[in-house]
Amino acid sequence: MIEPNRFGHCLVRPRYHEVEEAPSCARCRSLKNRIPDSTYEVREATVVAWGNRPFCEKCYDLYKRKHKLAERREPIVMAGEGVVKKTLAAGDGSHYPKPHDDVSILYEVFVIDENDESAKRLVDSSAIRGRPVVYRSGSSGPCLHAQILSGHRLHEGTGFDVPDVYAVGYWRNVRVGQTSERENTTNPVWECETLVFPLGFEERRTVRRLERAALKGCADEGSAATTRLLRIELYDANTFTKDEFLGQVTLTTKQVASVLRGSDGAPRVYPLRPKLASGRLRFSAARTTHATTGAVYVCLSIVGCENLASVDGASTISPYVVCFWRDAYVGQTPVKRTSDRPAWKDAVFNFAVTEGRKKGPPIPLAELAHKLGTVRLEVRDSHRFGWSVLGEIVVEKDDLIEMLRRSDEVTRTADPKLFLSGRMDRSCIQVFALSGTLRDRFRSCFGQRQQQQQQPGGATNVSIAKPRMLKRALFADAADRDLVLSDAHNCCKRVRGTLGLRLIYHTRGTVLRGIDVGVSQMSLGERARLKIRPDYGFDSASPAPLVPAFAKLEAVVDLVAIGDRTATWVFFHRAMHQRVRLVRHRLGELWRDIKGRYPKLAAFLEFVLSPVVFATLFSSDGRTIDPKQLTTGLERARSSELDYLLDRTYAN
């Protein structure tokens, strides 16, 4: 019952205006201010209308009559928190649900009576379903469903290597899920394979663009319409080696809106494309001179990367940057573990562009132009048994000269005491970044042989100086460049065929908003009571006879799993207790039925059964009954029954 997909319609349900505290009515406040020292009551606002002005119910009725808006309904003011959580049993306190995590919960949902909040009745639970509920965190609002239908004429390596195909879905470079494998086929077909992409974490502008396109068929052009939203990748599963890339389909915001506007849920066929790099690299360049020889050195400062994404289906990446000067290996930065936004402090590469010379004025950039070459920066993902290229940047000679010119401008306008009075040291440049790797620092034979293996044929060795031998350099503002993948790394030779895909926009998610918001505040293994406001629940819909419209809900939730992390003992312990509470609830209903139909039999059972057995079996709604109170009641019943029997005996 907690899935709201089939309850209500998005165009007829009311709208809400959420605030921390309910504002006062604007019309009541205006009338009170007109008459000084008046006793006019200023009521709290319940509706927001007329240019976002708050009105109470009485003033809003007058406003509608004046403007003839009989059928119009403005956003309803909802004050306070939508979900109030009370912890019943503490969790581990370290693992909380993140966006797009698969969450498994045990729950009981009660409907609170409007007249008596202490009175509640059970309407749904995971014990009634017989299984826990699994949903994706953040899927309580609008969602985009991508149905993976089929692939056609995919790449086949050899006659003995027929691919085992599966698809992986990404939303803004975040891995959401994957389909099952289809073995030994180049034309895979999937049935009921749907990837759900929650839109609750998106910007309001993006959600409105997709909603207007799906529901009203409106085209909305914006500056962010070219942002890559959805990416579906196909892979060939291998047992002993890394899975091979077979192609991908990438859709921007504009393309997704166009599909939702004109397809009405019809399937479409998309051609598979090679790998596309994702992310940006920020770096800067400057020049300096050797303190003893006077040779000119170019220094590249690596600031960091943004929005990196795996190109081989991995869920996490460990990036680092490798520098090449004229196809010769220069060095690499430290590896940043499990980070898609790595940042390096004082990670600088240097290489000589001129030989040593006597002291003199700085060499103009025009004379250095013919000595400069191409710089290539590769962003790699470190694996346990190797690496893969996430993207690369090629800095041509003209771009490098422009970056050096801007750094020279910064150097000329800066205080000479900042850089002319000393040399580079460990405080301004890290040694391992300048010398490439740790093995280069110790000048071992293995390190020299390893460095020569990374250089292409015909490449010359690069002259790298120690940081203490270079004069200090000032860098201009870092340049921001998009990463690309060349044909050597984008797997274009194995990409062919098409992919059948269907996109469907759902206005409501797969779980109630109150459940999703409350669970996001819980840690693994925690048990909490959630009081849910009507707009966070079923809203104006009535999914069952026991659940009226605008009903307040109360849920008791156990968070038993987040992704691969599972609280096994908590799951079995609390699932068993839910079963016990459900049996006690049903026995309580059966007892009330017996008491109504057969009062004498009920009185006899109350007389025979002990207080502890009665409290254990017939506790209504799983609530605990104090045995002392029950003993007192049964003693009174037994004494009255005994007096009745004595009276009958004396009468006879």
**Which run of H or of E encompasses 515?**
helix 513-519
Interstrand relation of 296-306 and 343-352 (parallel, antiparallel or unpaired): antiparallel
Task: With beta carbons less than 8 A apart as the criterion, state whether 586 and 580 touch.
Answer: no
Could you give the CA distance from residue 85 to residue 74 in angstroms, rounded to a whole number? 29
Contacts of 53 (CB under 8 A, 6+ apart): 26
pLDDT at 416: 65
For domain 83-139+528-565, give the fold.
Chitinase A; domain 3 (3.10.50)
CATH 2.60.40.150 in the chain is located at 143-276+491-506, 280-482
Q: Could you please report the per-residue DSSP string of 376-409?
A: EEEEEEEETTEEEEEEEEEE-HHHHHHHHHHHHH
pLDDT at 309: 83
pLDDT at 310: 79
pLDDT at 364: 79
Task: With beta carbons less than 8 A apart as the criterion, state whether 317 and 337 touch.
Answer: no
Task: With beta carbons less than 8 A apart as the criterion, state whether 324 and 378 touch.
Answer: yes
Task: With beta carbons less than 8 A apart as the criterion, state whether 233 and 245 touch.
Answer: yes
Q: What are phi and psi of 430, to 5 degrees?
A: -80, 140
Task: With beta carbons less than 8 A apart as the criterion, state whether 128 and 575 touch.
Answer: no
Contacts of 16 (CB under 8 A, 6+ apart): 75, 76, 77, 78, 535
Residue with tokens 């009174």: 636
Could you give the CA distance from residue 165 to residue 334 in angstroms, rounded to a whole number? 35
- Within the chain, which residues score under 70 in pLDDT? 1-12, 50-51, 70-72, 157-160, 219-226, 263-264, 313-315, 358-361, 416-462, 467-468, 568-571, 573-575, 578, 609-652
For domain 143-276+491-506, give the fold.
Immunoglobulin-like (2.60.40)
Q: Could you please report the per-residue DSSP string of 93-154?
A: SS----TT-EEEEEEEEEEEPSS-TT-EEEEEEHHHHTS-EEEETTTTS-EEEEEEEEEES-
Q: At what angle do helices 599-608 and 627-651 cross, to 10 degrees?
A: 110
- Amino acid in the structure at residue 529: R
CATH 3.10.50.40 in the chain is located at 83-139+528-565
Residue with tokens 């109350």: 606
pLDDT in tens, 545-577: 778 888 889 999 989 888 878 776 666 766 677
Give the DSSP letter of residue 14. Answer: P
Task: With beta carbons less than 8 A apart as the criterion, state whether 35 and 563 touch.
Answer: no
**Which run of H or of E encompasses 528?**
strand 527-532
Task: Count CB neighbours of 438 within 10 A.
Answer: 12
Task: With beta carbons less than 8 A apart as the criterion, state whether 514 and 530 touch.
Answer: yes
Tokens coding 527: 């048990």
Task: With beta carbons less than 8 A apart as the criterion, state whether 192 and 143 touch.
Answer: no
Cα 267 off chain centre by: 27
Q: What are phi and psi of 66, to 5 degrees?
A: -70, -40
Could you give the CA distance from residue 512 to residue 508 in angstroms, rounded to a whole number? 9
Task: With beta carbons less than 8 A apart as the criterion, state whether 578 and 131 touch.
Answer: no
**Which run of H or of E encompasses 182?**
none
CA angle 499, 501, 504 (to 5 degrees): 170
The phi-psi region of residue 9 (left if phi > 0; otherwise alpha if psi is between -120 and 50; otherwise beta) is: beta
Q: Could you please report the per-residue DSSP string of 189-246?
A: B-SS-EEEEE-TTS-HHHHHHHHIIIII------GGGGSEEEEEEEEE--SSSPPEEE
Q: What is the SS3 assignment for 290? A: strand
End-to-end CA distance of the chain: 60
Could you give the CA distance from residue 329 to residue 368 in angstroms, rounded to a whole number? 21
pLDDT at 247: 92
Could you give the CA distance from residue 347 to residue 329 in angstroms, rounded to a whole number? 16
Task: Count CB neighbours of 246 within 10 A.
Answer: 25
pLDDT at 456: 42
Q: What is the SS3 assignment for 525? A: coil
Task: Count CB neighbours of 319 within 10 A.
Answer: 26
Q: Could you please report the per-residue DSSP string of 22-83?
A: PPBPHHHHHHHHHSTT-----PBP-EEETTTEEE-HHHHHHHHHHHT-SS--PPEEEES-SE
Q: What are phi and psi of 465, to 5 degrees?
A: -100, 155
Interstrand relation of 319-325 and 102-112 (parallel, antiparallel or unpaired): unpaired
Give the DSSP letter of residue 424. Answer: -
CATH superfamily for 280-482 is: C2 domain (2.60.40.150)
Nearest one of 419, 420, 425 to 468, comparing CA atoms:
425
Could you give the CA distance from residue 551 to residue 89 in angstroms, rounded to a whole number? 26
